[in-house]
Chain A
Amino acid sequence: MSIKDKVPVTILTGFLGSGKTTLLNRILSEEHGKRIAVIENEYGEVGIDQGLVINADEEVFEMSNGCICCTVRGDLIRVLGNLMKRRDKFDYVLVETTGLADPGPVAQTFFMDEEISSEFTLDGIVTLVDAAHIDQQLGRSDESSEQVAFADVLVLNKTDLVSDDALNTLESRLRDMNRMTQIIRAENAKVPIETVLNLSAFDLDQILKRRPTFLEPEYPFEWTGVYDLNAGKYELMLEEGPDPEMSLVALVNQGESEEELKDGAESSLRLYAEKANTLEPGNTIPYGEHINLKLDDKGNKSFILNIKKPTKIGLFTQHTAEEFNMKVIKSEENKEIPFNTERFWQAEHEHDDEVGSIAIERFGDVDPEKLNTWMGRLLSEKGVDIFRTKGFISYSGNPRRIVFQGVHMLFTAQPDKEWGNELRRNQLVFIGRNLNEKEMQEGFDKCLI
């Protein structure tokens, strides 16, 4: 049976009071043409309006080998085992877990049990978060941070009860914990249905088609300024700053919309991966190259920007303009040209929560054997603490990109599309508890050829 014939399943997690039942009712009452079966673990206070609803008590079954990744949900196996005989009655399954449920066994059930995995496919894990209370909950219980860690989609609910500032801080905290999740803000669980159903979050081909990268990347540059410049000669002036040098990429025809800025950032990211050419003051800055401005002289330093015809120049700089009091000056008029737009980027920084994401992004090829050994050891030693893994890899000698994903120690890798002309690179995201980023990055680097 191909994945298309399998019935998709969405897991809905979140603490009691986060709005799961409201969301569930919203999904069931909307005109979407789907016949949805609901398996409910948490029931009582609010009824479900319609649909094929089955109540089941959560039963977590550990195996005699004590292996956490073999732990499954017996209630789901039983209920789904019966539901699969009634396939003409529904074409989608929603599993609503209790607020205290560990999402691991729920997800694992769809991989570990052959009968279930032959008929159902896990579509995605949606976690509801009560914006007003999640900060406290994260501090108090492992379950809530695990539910955040496992989520493909985080619905930040009840945003009307919280200030914008607090929401931004919270979103950034959640983003640190789980960098591959999509965060959706909602009042009263009001979210577009397509943001929570049919995510194909476990079908890596699909995700990669939609989102070429799993990550909201952390860029090697902190700042971008876009300058609208007429033809002529300009100087980029920098004063003394925190570093004796600074990396920079200058792009012509840089747009100012968020999308264009992100495209520019994506191009710059690739250029940043190449070795930088050092540029002494007084020299001309080439466009579309990774360069390293030498800044160790005292006083002002200036570099030349030559503009042949009017254009918008995007400067993607390692540090913010402020730190070096960086200015663009039109030479003949000696007049400062202010930037039209600036954008700050997420720079690598310390994470506070125990649960966090580690991203590894490297250009080049890896040695499959070394990678297998490293991943094997990593997952056997840290599998309990690694909740989710996603990524793609460039195997040396293999024309196809290898995509993979895992839940705890369970791990699948499969060949995806051909690389073609694309620059070969590797991107891995690990979400887990107390992961050592430096150690993992070093381990991965040793697998590179």
Chain B
Amino acid sequence: MPDIEPFSPRGMFHEGWTAEVSDYAIACGWSLKGKQFIVGDVAGGIFAFEGDTGKIIWEKDNTHSGGLLAMAIHPEGEIFATSGQDGNVQICNCYEGNVIKTLDLGKGWVEHLKWSNDGLFLAIASSKKVYVFNEIGEEKWISEDHPSTVSAITWSNKNELATACYGRVTFFDIVNNKTNQKLEWQGSLVSMELSPDGDIVACGSQDNSVHFWRRSTGMDAEMTGYPGKPSHLSFDDSGKLLATSGSERITVWSFKGNGPEGTMPGELCHHTEPISSLAFSNKGMLVASGSRDGSVVASFLKNDGNGDPVGAAFAGDLVGAISWRPDDCALAAVNAKGVVNVWKFKVRTNLFSKGFK
């Protein structure tokens, strides 16, 4: 249990709803354009709640024997995919939770799922291989074996997929079955995020550093001095700010001007234990962070990466995942005890939102 005292939502966080799932909640996301909230627990239970009230819509258990590892909701929000230790991927319908298609990828754990932005492709990482399927579960592409287990995948544009593993990031044109680029660096890459334009590649490394590359110029840089491995990375929607964390602190690098090389990053110190989830709002420069201590904080950032907290709430236990509602008017956090919290985030008027920009 966390050491901090429970507290009521503060600042821009307001009471919303809470619910429970059966086990440690590891994945969550909004579907049906924010009308529905789906939570996956580590044992393979999947639960869909009404976005406004928290009323359960459907639930199912044991979706993956051995346990659930990943979940990804389609950008249109009507279908979602889950994967697990059983080596399977299930593509399901959000309305009833029915399985549309099961993909059997063999024995290895299926640890990562990512829909392309246009929703035409689903990328799947299992052990050393990466697969791409379409929405209806037809196989479109398979990679060769990577040198090690693939640790992160993300789409750089609609046909191009980036994969990270020990020692390198690779960009694949999955339509023409081509390797577009290889960025090599000796280190175990544990996380990867791309800027929204796909130019900046940021990776957290096991040796407590963040390495990034600019694809357009080929320049790369290493940001060292993290107290722990930076497992959590998030870009804001403009690609100016990269929030990173490998400890209870959040370090924000600003890519404005010539930065971040040679600049001082912004530092946010709001938690007493390491960050366990980190996400920028869909629009604007708000970053939400959840910690092992159960606290959730939203901070409003300036261009230099520094900023102030605008709200905080207590999720009760280690925050397994957080998710902004598509309109950024609510934030959800799920925890290690299986508790789901959704807080309303004070509605920003147009006038207010101009203030952010």
Residues of chain A having any CB pair with chain B under 8 Å: 54-55, 57, 59, 61-65, 70, 72, 74-75, 77-78, 82, 85-86, 113-115
Q: Which A-B residue pairs are the 8 nearest by beta carbons?
A: A61-B188, A63-B207, A114-B228, A85-B24, A85-B42, A64-B187, A64-B186, A59-B148
A74 touches B149 (CB 8 A): yes
In the complex, B94 has a CB within 8 A of chain A:
no
Interface string of B243-283 (1 = CB under 8 A from A): 00011000000000000000000000000001000000000
Known: A113-B206, A115-B228. 6 other contacts (CB 8 A): A63-B188, A63-B205, A63-B207, A74-B166, A82-B67, A115-B231
**A59 touches which one: B149, B229, B246, B274 (CB < 8 A)?**
B149
| Complexed CA–CA distance, A63 and B188 (Å) | 7
B interface list, Cβ under 8 A from A: 24, 26, 42-43, 67, 69, 85, 107, 109, 111, 127, 148-149, 166, 185-188, 205-207, 227-229, 231, 246-247, 274, 320, 336
Which residues of B lie under 8 Å from residue A63 when comparing CB positions?
186-188, 205-207
CA distance A75 to B246 in the complex (A): 19
Q: Which residues of chain B have C-beta atoms less than 8 A from A72's C-beta?
A: 188, 206
Among B24, B107, B188, B231, find the residue whose CB has the most chain A CB atoms closer than 10 A: B188
Chain A positions within 8 Å of B149 at CB level: 57, 59, 74-75, 78
Contact status A74-B206, CB under 8 Å:
yes
Q: Which residues of B contact A57 (CB under 8 A)?
A: 127, 149
Return the contact of B67 from the options A62, A86, A113 (Cβ within 8 A). A86
Min Cβ gap A14→B in Å is 25
A-B contact pairs, 11 of them (CB 8 A): A55-B107, A61-B187, A61-B188, A63-B188, A63-B206, A63-B207, A70-B207, A78-B111, A78-B149, A85-B24, A85-B42
Contacts of A54 on B, CB cut-off 8 Å? 85
Least distance between A244 CB and chain B CB atoms (Å): 60
Task: Kindly provide the distance from the CB of A196 to the nearest chain B CB, expressed in whole angstroms.
Answer: 27
Cα A63 to Cα B320 with chains together (Å): 28
Task: Give the distance to chain B from A131, nearest Cβ to Cβ, in Å.
Answer: 35
A57-B127, A74-B206 given as contacts; is B107 within 8 A of A85 (CB)? no
For the complex formed, measure the closest distance between the CB of A108 and the CB atoms of chain B, giving whole angstroms. Answer: 11
Closest beta carbon of chain B to A116's beta carbon, Å: 10
The reply to whether A85 and B336 contact each other, CB–CB distance below 8 Å, is yes
**How far, in whole Å, are A151 and B22 apart by their CA atoms in the complex?**
41
CB of A113 within 8 A of CB of B42, answer no
Q: How far is the CA of A61 from the CA of B231 in the complex (A)?
A: 16
Contacts of B320 in A (CB 8 A): 85
Are B229's CB and A74's CB within 8 A?
A: no
- A-side contacts of B127, CB under 8 Å: 57
On whether the beta carbons of A85 and B26 are closer than 8 Å, the reply is yes
A59 to B111: give the CA distance in the assembly, Å: 16
Q: How far is the CA of A70 from the CA of B205 in the complex (A)?
A: 12
Determine how close the nearest CB of chain B comes to the CB of A187; give it in whole angstroms: 34
Distance (Å) between the CB of B119 and the closest chain A CB?
A: 28
B24 touches A113 (CB 8 A): no
Query: Chain A nearest CB: distance from B134 CB in Å?
Result: 28
- Contact between chains at B185 and A64 (CB < 8 Å): yes
A74 CA to B190 CA in the complex, in Å?
A: 9
Please tell me if the beta carbons of B188 and A86 are within 8 angstroms of each other in the complex: no
Q: A41 → chain B, closest Cβ, in Å?
A: 13
Question: In whole angstroms, what is the CA distance A57 to B140 when docked?
Answer: 27
Q: How far is the CB of B35 from chain A (nearest CB, A)?
A: 29
